[in-house]
Amino acid sequence: QHLQDEDAWTFRYARVNLLNTSMDKVKQHLSEDNYEEVAASREDMRSALPKRARKYAHDPDLEDVLVFPPGTELHKNRLYGTASIILQDKASCIPAHVLRPPPGSHVIDACAAPGNKTSHMASMMNNQGKIFAFDKDQKRLNTLISLTDKAKCKIIEATCADFLEIDPQDPTYGDVEYMLLDPSCSGSGIVNRMDALVDSYIAMVNSSDEKKPEVDKERLQSLAEFQTAVILHAMQFPKVKRISYSTCSVHEEENEAVVAQVLESQNTFTLAPADQLIPSWPRRGLQTAGLSAEQAACLVRTLPEDGTNGFFVACFVREASGSFDGL
Ligand code: SAM
């Protein structure tokens, strides 16, 4: 029933853009605007931030994210106007946190537009280093350029290109150690399109194979092939050592099954250990597609019942030894 009233349980999130301001300054501004900070754990967030209350909490899992009650309107706030805060769902802030590119590093954001995660990484990197941002859609890339300019990102080189056609041996990318892969997906985790989908996801998890709800299997299969190809291509860049893969899909075909296929297709990269993926976050991957319980624990899932969009994040790391055999 709660799914029918999206606002009743979807928090609003704001990521603090550390290129423009600091957490303390944002809190100071919010206090001048009569917002009261409350301390809340994930479990009591709903009672601590009731709808229409002028309150907010520091997110218990992500240090640069603030949580506001459902329906809070921040678009007219000066903090938003100056790009001091970026209105970005909590789940979509997880990939950059998991990747954690340090200041000075070289990063590829392979499917980058409209650029929320690109600007998040620039903020974490304190504008030091380089982010090569690709997108094959020029219009969306133009949005990335204007959003990241507004957010004072200075280290982004945006290129309109098909990432699958970028040559891993090109010396331009010779120092790239971190990759963020957020390729096109079914989008089935986005809350305002969610309605029936969460119910169908829960039914899918709880049911036997014969009872699984109908989804467009052909479309999911073709998305999964593309997503797998993007990850395997990323793994061919010579110095890359850490790769985050994310979707805003709740379908295991685009999530655990893609991870399982990638693990099977090469022996250079493995999953980053669970304690490197927001250890405080309890919802983990499904033990499916031949993944072990230990591997599933290394994957992060979010669902609207967590007060976020439905989302999936995996992180691959280069093993100390082992050679990449390609496709
Ligand atoms: N990471 C973005 C963000 O956080 O703002 C959202 C990325 S969106 C889920 C996926 C993007 O991948 C789309 O903008 C799409 O144009 C782009 N894309 C799809 N296929 C691509 C390809 N082969 N190479 C580069 N970009 C691609």
**Binding site for S-adenosyl-L-methionine, residues?**
111-117, 135, 162, 182
Say which CATH topology domain 2-87 has: Alpha-Beta Plaits (3.30.70)
Unique residue bearing structure tokens 């994930």: 42
Nearest CA residue ID for atom 18, ligand 1: 111
Question: Which of 309, 300, 248 has its CA nearest to residue 276?
Answer: 300
Ligand 1, CB within 6 Å, residue ranges: 92, 111-117, 134-137, 140, 162-164, 182-184
Can you tell me whether residue 47 is helix, strand or coil?
helix
CATH number of 92-318, picked from 3.40.109.10, 3.20.20.70, 3.40.50.1360, 3.40.50.150: 3.40.50.150
Give the whole-angstrom CA distance, residue 185 versus residue 182: 8
> What predicted TM-score, i.e. pTM, was given to this entire model?
0.91
Distance 99 CA to ligand 1 centre (A): 18
**pLDDT one digit per residue (tens) for the chain, 327 residues:** 333 444 446 899 999 999 999 999 999 999 999 999 999 999 999 999 999 899 999 999 999 999 999 989 999 999 999 999 999 999 999 999 999 999 999 999 999 999 999 999 999 999 999 999 999 999 999 999 999 999 999 999 999 999 999 999 999 999 999 999 999 999 988 875 444 455 555 555 555 544 445 578 999 999 999 999 999 999 999 999 999 999 999 999 999 999 999 999 999 999 999 999 999 999 999 999 999 999 999 999 999 989 999 999 999 999 974 444 433
- As for the ipTM of the complex, it is 0.99
Domain boundaries, the chain: 2-87, 92-318
How many CB atoms neighbour CB 178 within 10 A? 24
Q: Catalytic residue numbers? A: 248
Distance 176 CA to ligand 1 centre (A): 19
Nearest CA residue ID for atom 9, ligand 1: 184
Ligand 1 pocket test target in 135, 138, 167, 244 with most atoms within 8 Å of CB: 135
Helices (H), 49-133: 78-81, 90-99, 116-124
Distance 231 CA to ligand 1 centre (A): 13
Q: Report the atom number in ligand 1 closest to the C-alpha of 248.
A: 9
